[in-house]
Chain A
């Protein structure tokens, strides 16, 4: 069972040190103000200190119990008064009994007891209050800390869930159209059909991966992106032309996984779906000081009005960047004549998971 003083070694040490000083102080006070012998004075001082200290330690458990219960104020007050009474009686009885048992000059000590009774009760009540209040303080500090921890944990969980949801938003139509292409290829070219099944499997494994490391090198991301693009190439054939211009030093930079795929999907949706012309999608990546800049550029038909689409793909990318990097990363999109550009800026960081 946890005890805020007993469970912490240095607190326990300091606690006894304080009682030692109190005991010493009481002994000295008795020596100077009464006729009692030095040994009786010390006995009284230290016994009362030690006994009070032990009783005070055990008080933690009822206090803990009272504070967690849903008692009304009246019951709480009654509880405390009763506890105080028991503690005080026990303390006085034990101290007196032990000192009397040790020494023969009982009468002096007995008269000293009746003289000092009110002082004792007053001092004990004061100490008792201090200890109870300290316990309550400890409990509330502990509660606040626990609450903060719970909140932080909850927030983290929410963030994780949101990231997971944002990441795994692969358009199901992509999957079904790909499967349809495969179904078609099994008739005309079973070898290519098998290749496509493998590519689709590898890509889905990457896209749906629940692994902890959610940042990957650009190289890994590109490898998996190419699986996706190969599948799209089978669907759209000559209509889709892909180009890449990537500086070699970009390859080891870490980026969130599946961050490029939605940008390609967007380019394909607005380029290839809406137009009958050839659509070129070009990826540029370069490293600037402590950051990587990736742009995905595609041509589109500026006359076309999209039949639908709510742009959730791009919004998800922005939101993910925000969750990962707060405001240190951004996504910018521009339309100029018939060119659509999506620009990603991601800071280099060894550890971005907090």
Chain B
């Protein structure tokens, strides 16, 4: 919050008419000050870092970075009000502790309620937003399988296409992603990837490993009732007993 105790807000939304209606509705809220607007997710990311707003109005489907991907790469999350035409993401939005989820087109009354809720939360929470909020969701956006994973290095954003992923390894609160062009660390859970990656292409073969079936070269027995998956590039990864069962169901060897 700034000196005058005003709440700062940022609009991240790719369609101009959609931005202007939020601006119009905001005029009645004296305690909220609009500090910027962005037509895409990447602009949103940069502006959040720079302006440090208390509240963002966030669309989901946007160029460069979707609303959810933007949240994934943020270190500190402002309070979020989603504004979208997609009703299928509501559960995930609330998983992520969003203040509210406005379905387009939304009436002013509904918008006002959402903003009031956000104001209350921000006033009460004080420094809450400076704590790192972890992503606790266990599912991907809607029903479609994941197609890309967003990686942030400083100000740079890059994507790993899911088809380039060879395997993933759990590392405490993180997941190390080994892909065709190297590796990348993501703050995410194995459960999330297990649920979100295309189920025909990936397999959770161990508590700490998810592998691309295509990149497994062969399976070798290792000790009593345990196995080793030898990857095409030579890595030897453990396969648990249940993992081995799942593997047998998906591929015949």
Contacts and interface: CB of A to CB of B under 8 A. Distances in A.
A181 interface: yes
A187 B20 contact: yes
Interface in A291-323: 304-310
Interface stretch (B61-69, B120-128, B225-233): B61-69
Contacts of B180: none
Contacts of A310: 144
Q: Which of A181, A236, A237, A307 has the most CB of B within 10 A?
A: A307
A293 B61 CA distance: 33
A180 B17 contact: yes
Contacts, number: 79
A307 B20 contact: no
Given A276-B39, A307-B66, A310-B144, A179 B17 contact: no
Interface string A93-110: 000000000000000000
Contacts of B62: 273
Nearest to A274: B63
A177 interface: yes
A307 B24 contact: no
A182 to B, nearest CB: 7
Given A274-B63, A276-B40, A184 B20 contact: yes
A308 B147 contact: yes
A185 B63 CA distance: 23
A308 B15 CA distance: 19
B21 A275 contact: no
A176 B17 contact: no
A280 to B, nearest CB: 16
Contact of A177 (B63, B85, B141, B148): B85
Interface string B1-27: 000000000000011111011001000
B18 A184 contact: yes
A180 B105 contact: yes
A190 interface: no
Contacts of B103: 176
B199 interface: no
Given A180-B21, A236-B15, A308 B141 contact: yes
B104 interface: yes
Interface in A156-181: 172-173, 176-177, 179-181
Most buried by A among B17, B21, B147, B148: B17
A180 B144 contact: no
Contact of B18 (A181, A187, A273, A307): A181
Contact of A176 (B14, B24, B104): B104
Interface in A254-294: 272-276
A305 B15 contact: no
B192 interface: no
A183 B14 CA distance: 16
B159 interface: yes
Most buried by A among B62, B64, B159: B64
B184 to A, nearest CB: 14
A173 B63 CA distance: 16
A114 to B, nearest CB: 83
Nearest to A175: B85
Contact of B159 (A177, A184, A188, A305): A305
B144 A308 contact: yes
Contacts of A184: 17-18, 20-21, 24
A234 interface: yes
B86 interface: yes
7 contacts: A177-B104, A179-B104, A235-B16, A273-B63, A307-B69, A307-B141, A308-B144
Task: Kindly list the 5 A-B residue pairs having the minimum CB-CB distance in the complex, ordered from nearest.
Answer: A176-B85, A180-B104, A184-B17, A184-B21, A183-B105
Given A180-B21, A306-B147, A308-B144, 10 more contacts: A179-B104, A180-B17, A180-B18, A180-B105, A183-B104, A188-B20, A235-B16, A235-B17, A274-B63, A276-B40
